[in-house]
Amino acid sequence: MSDLFRLYSWSVSLYSGKARAYLIKQGIAFEDISPADPVFQNTVQPALGRWIIPVMTTPDGEIVQDGTDIIDWFESRGRAKHSAYPKTPRHLVSSLIMEMFGGEGLLRPAMHYRWNFDEDNLDFILQQFGLFAMPHVPADERRDMALHAAGRMRKAAVAFGVTPEIMPDIEAAYHEILAEFDAHFSAQPYLLGGAPTIGDYGLFASLFAHLGRDPHPLRLMQQKAPMLFRWTERMRNPSPDMVEFIGRNESLMAEDEIPDTLKTLLRRVASDYLPEIEAMVDVQNQYLQDTQISEGDMIGGKETTRHIGFCDFAWRGKTVKAMVMPYRIFMLQRIQDAYDALQDSDRDSVEALLRETGLERILHARSTRRVERRDNREVWGAKT
Ligand SMILES: N[C@@H](CCC(=O)N[C@@H](CS)C(=O)NCC(=O)O)C(=O)O
């Protein structure tokens, strides 16, 4: 048994980046292991009932799947150097909103810029998929197998709503998003000042493995948003890496301040992800009404089913169709739970921020049943 934490992950994997950045920034000793390792195949995967990364195993042999659960494993044991969860109300809620946006709301640009620019990306992606998935197979035999995995992911991109009709909008919106992040990271090293919080880790999911690492979007980011690119470097560096912010210390902004550049990013969540959240909640609530469910039932009936249907929503004057994944409601609940736990005066200050940024409805889009994670799986919780 290893005395280190082991992170089963790949550099090409979106959600792995979130967990890895946390381990790096917290100075936790760990080793990256490929899920092609026999221990993963023989022990970890059977325990989880599905092939999924990232997975962490602890020195005691505990298995923890999910980027957020890996982070919370350390947080709940008081083992974080800089807790990912801010102590003040607006910081906490806005950081959780950006966690959700990074992991779920930016999936369309992430998938589009990975899978629809073959001329720039495909050779690299297939080489990398082959390298990480099949390190034991000779390099010249990996490409065909990698093509098979690529075919699955292209289908997933469509299920996330990346269709030819809306590709021009995905690109136009992403160019705006790049400018907004660049403005923020020109003024702040991290989302809330001098240290990363849960929002930084969530954003790092899509903004690194896909949008900050695949050749086409990497070049775009370097050209259009060099300070965002710098943040992707900073998030992989064990040091605070704030060389351009002379004199900045490692604390969050004082007095629960939300700078204008972050308000702009919150407005972006309101325009680009809130319509989808509301549509997902509606479809999920209808599903819950139509389906016999008991508390503790596994969502989708088995580990490998992660969606319960499709939703339609309006975005930039078009209709987008996307999968409804209860995990996304789990991320939404984290925001709502944080708000619900606040005292009245703190709720007022959060509500004022959400009103100002067009996000107040995020508190009202609620599932009629909780989505919980138990034993590394998503299950239905209690009625709300
Ligand atoms: N909610 C999970 C999502 C993990 C996830 O979707 N991982 C992808 C790789 S980035 C995966 O393993 N997909 C399995 C598959 O494609 O079959 C987390 O945050 O860890």
Tell me: pLDDT of 232 over 60: yes
277-291 pLDDT, tens digit per residue, is 999 999 999 999 999
Residue 89: CB atoms within 10 Å: 21
Tell me: pLDDT of 330 over 80: yes
In testing the pocket of ligand 1, which one of 53, 55, 306, 376 has its CB within 8 Å of the most ligand atoms? 53
Closest residue by Cα to atom 14, ligand 1, is: 52
User: What whole-number distance in Å separates Cα of residue 71 and Cα of residue 84?
Assistant: 8
Tell me: pLDDT of 140 over 90: no
Domain topology for 89-269: Glutathione S-transferase Yfyf (Class Pi); Chain A, domain 2 (1.20.1050)
Closest residue by Cα to atom 20, ligand 1, is: 66
- Coil, helix or strand at residue 14: helix
**pLDDT confidence of 248, banded at 50, 70, 90?**
very high
Ligand 1 surroundings by CB, under 6 angstroms: 13-15, 51-54, 66-67, 327
Angle at 20 between CA 43 and CA 102, to 5 degrees: 115
19-67 pLDDT, tens digit per residue, is 999 999 999 999 999 999 999 999 999 999 999 999 999 999 999 999 9
Instruction: Give the residue among 335, 329, 270 at the shortest CA–CA distance from 94.
Output: 335
- Cβ contact 356:350 at 8 Å: no
Percent of the chain at pLDDT exceeding 70: 99
User: What whole-number distance in Å separates Cα of residue 208 and Cα of residue 237?
Assistant: 13
Beta strand 30-33 pairing with 5-8: parallel
User: What whole-number distance in Å separates Cα of residue 230 and Cα of residue 241?
Assistant: 9
Average pLDDT over residues 250-257: 97
CATH 1.20.1050.10 residue ranges of the chain are 89-269
- Cβ contact 139:38 at 8 Å: no
- Cβ contact 334:296 at 8 Å: no
Three-state secondary structure along 22-75? HHHHCCCCEEEECCCCHHHHHHHHHHHCCCCCCEEECCCCCEEECHHHHHHHHH
| d(CA 67, ligand 1 centre) in Å | 9
In testing the pocket of ligand 1, which one of 8, 13, 15 has its CB within 8 Å of the most ligand atoms? 15
Tell me: pLDDT of 144 over 90: no
Instruction: Give the residue among 186, 196, 260, 171 at the shortest CA–CA distance from 228.
Output: 186
| d(CA 14, ligand 1 centre) in Å | 8
Round the average pLDDT of the chain to a whole number and report it: 96
Alpha-carbon distances, residue 96 vs 14, 131, 317, 335 (angstroms): 18, 34, 28, 6
361's tokens: 């409805």
Closest residue by Cα to atom 16, ligand 1, is: 52
101's tokens: 């946006």
Nearby residues of 345 by Cβ (< 8 Å), 6 or more positions away: none
Residue environment code for 130-155, b if the CB has 16+ CB neighbours within 10 A, otherwise e: bbbbbeeeeeeebeeebeeebeeeee
Nearby residues of 237 by Cβ (< 8 Å), 6 or more positions away: 24
Closest residue by Cα to atom 1, ligand 1, is: 66
pLDDT at 315 (0 to 100): 98
pLDDT at 97 (0 to 100): 98
| d(CA 9, ligand 1 centre) in Å | 10
pLDDT at 319 (0 to 100): 98
Average pLDDT over residues 195-219: 98
58-101 pLDDT, tens digit per residue, is 999 999 999 999 999 999 999 999 999 999 999 999 999 999 99
- Coil, helix or strand at residue 314: strand
- Coil, helix or strand at residue 321: strand
290-305 pLDDT, tens digit per residue, is 999 999 999 999 888 9
Assigned CATH for 5-75 = 3.40.30.10
pLDDT at 303 (0 to 100): 87
Residue 241: CB atoms within 10 Å: 16
User: What whole-number distance in Å separates Cα of residue 347 and Cα of residue 340?
Assistant: 8
Average pLDDT over residues 340-362: 98
The residue whose two tokens read 């003040």 is 88
| d(CA 274, ligand 1 centre) in Å | 22
Closest residue by Cα to atom 2, ligand 1, is: 66
The torsion region of residue 63 among left (phi > 0), alpha (psi -120 to 50) and beta comes to beta
| d(CA 366, ligand 1 centre) in Å | 24
CATH 3.40.30.10 residue ranges of the chain are 5-75
Tell me: pLDDT of 1 over 70: no
Q: What size, in residues, is the chain?
A: 384
309-319 pLDDT, tens digit per residue, is 999 999 999 99
Residue 245: CB atoms within 10 Å: 15
User: What whole-number distance in Å separates Cα of residue 264 and Cα of residue 340?
Assistant: 24
Closest residue by Cα to atom 13, ligand 1, is: 52
